[in-house]
Structure 1
Amino acid sequence: MIGLGDLNARFRVYVQNRPPLPQYQQLWQLQALQAGEIDQIYRDCGNGWRKLFNVYAKLLFELGPAFGFAQQAPSWQQYRDQRLLQQGSGTALLFSPPDLAATDCIHLIAGRSCAKDWLAQGMLDSQLHWLNEEFAIDPANRLLVTPYFDYRQLSNEKITRAVALLQQLQPRLSV
């Protein structure tokens, strides 16, 4: 796994791009973030990264008690700043295609184009069932494709839709 987060992540989000900073461009393993590092990434890399982290935290927070993320902080903002992608958080942001052999976690690909690229390149072995132009699901592999983590693409209404789909994949997940 190449990305940011907890080595034992049970909730894994996949994107194609890394933060455009040397320490992340040269990353070839999973690295837990330190307190304040998310804030530093979006100060150095721009609003797009702030949106990604915000949407990630909001989604986790809205999953409810069965997933356990909302119990770790009083608000999604505090969860983002104090837990997201840190050691022991149960979360990861990965820059490589999903390893679907990992069955003790939920896989979420952020962005239809990312999922379609990996499928076309043979880097994703999945039987995705496209529910519409934006969402796809593979229950056997506990995989969901959503719009990219941006307010315009994954609005609050679409986060609610994603939560309902993730709850279908949830039974064996506990953080």
Structure 2
Amino acid sequence: MTTSIGFGCPSFKFAIYIANQPNMSEYQNLDSVLPVTQGEIYAIGQACGNGWRKVFNVYAKLLFALNKKDFDYCKSSLTWQQYRDDYLLQNNTQTALLFSPPIIKENSDTMHIICGKTYAKELINSDKLKLELTWLDNEFAIDEGSNLIVCPYLDYRQLSNIKIERLSKMLSKLKHA
């Protein structure tokens, strides 16, 4: 059986998939989902640069923007920054940032988000993923049966605050579909 690989809670219910991973020796041979420790996100940002800081910041901003009635990941945090620093991708958070293709299980309530149209198409074209995507526009697609959304990459310009709000509403709608 295929295994998810990345950062976060091994029993995740909310997963974001990206095509790359931090270029640090300690992460090159990951073979499972590992919770980050306090300060590890900061250390990755310091070692790998602004691109990775943006990934973590935008992920935290998205989780903080979600409707709290539908997704209560940030209930203990007053700001997205506090959530990022104290909880993001740690054990028991039910969230993950994955560097492996989605594993879609039937009748699962796990939310899957693939970042980047190019990555989504690469996964589909390589037969690593079977989806029935409905493209809503040039940036967002959805497969309701798989609880999966394709959105822009986790970057301030690509997944701006307005697009985070849109994605948040899409996720709430998908949760109730």
User: If the TM-score is normalised by the length of the shorter chain, which range does it land in?
Assistant: over 0.9
Greater Cα shift, 137-146 or 61-70: 61-70
Aligned to 2:89: 85
What is the total number of aligned residue pairs between the two structures? 172
Aligned to 1:45: 48
Aligned counterpart for 1:171 among listed residues 157, 173, 176: 176
Q: Which secondary structure does the structure 2 equivalent of 1:53 belong to? A: helix
Aligned to 2:80: 76
Question: 1:168 and 1:125 mapped to 2: Cα distance?
Answer: 22
Moved over 4 A (4+): none
1:69 is displaced (CA, Å) by: 1.8
Is the contact between residue 3 and residue 31 of structure 1 (CA under 8 Å) also seen in structure 2? yes
Greater Cα shift, 103-112 or 143-152: 103-112
Aligned counterpart for 1:65 among listed residues 65, 68, 73: 68
Long gaps (5+) in structure 1 = none
Is the contact between residue 64 and residue 70 of structure 1 (CA under 8 Å) also seen in structure 2? no
Aligned to 2:98: 94
Normalising by structure 2, report the TM-score. Answer: 0.94
Question: 1:61 and 1:69 mapped to 2: Cα distance?
Answer: 8
Long gaps (5+) in structure 2 = none
Identical columns (%): 47
Q: Which secondary structure does the structure 2 equivalent of 1:70 belong to? A: coil
Q: Which secondary structure does the structure 2 equivalent of 1:109 belong to? A: strand
1:170 is displaced (CA, Å) by: 1.7
1:72 is displaced (CA, Å) by: 2.2
Is the contact between residue 62 and residue 70 of structure 1 (CA under 8 Å) also seen in structure 2? no
Q: Name the aligned partner's letter for residue 131 of structure 2.
A: S
Is the contact between residue 4 and residue 32 of structure 1 (CA under 8 Å) also seen in structure 2? yes
Is the contact between residue 48 and residue 150 of structure 1 (CA under 8 Å) also seen in structure 2? yes
Question: 2:136 and 2:67 mapped to 1: Cα distance?
Answer: 23
Is the contact between residue 8 and residue 90 of structure 1 (CA under 8 Å) also seen in structure 2? yes
Q: Does 1:11 align with 2:14?
A: yes
Aligned counterpart for 1:122 among listed residues 123, 127, 152: 127
Question: 2:176 and 2:12 mapped to 1: Cα distance?
Answer: 16
Is the contact between residue 12 and residue 95 of structure 2 (CA under 8 Å) also seen in structure 1? yes
Question: 1:171 and 1:39 mapped to 2: Cα distance?
Answer: 35
Q: Name the aligned partner's letter for residue 95 of structure 2.
A: T
Question: 1:94 and 1:31 mapped to 2: Cα distance?
Answer: 10
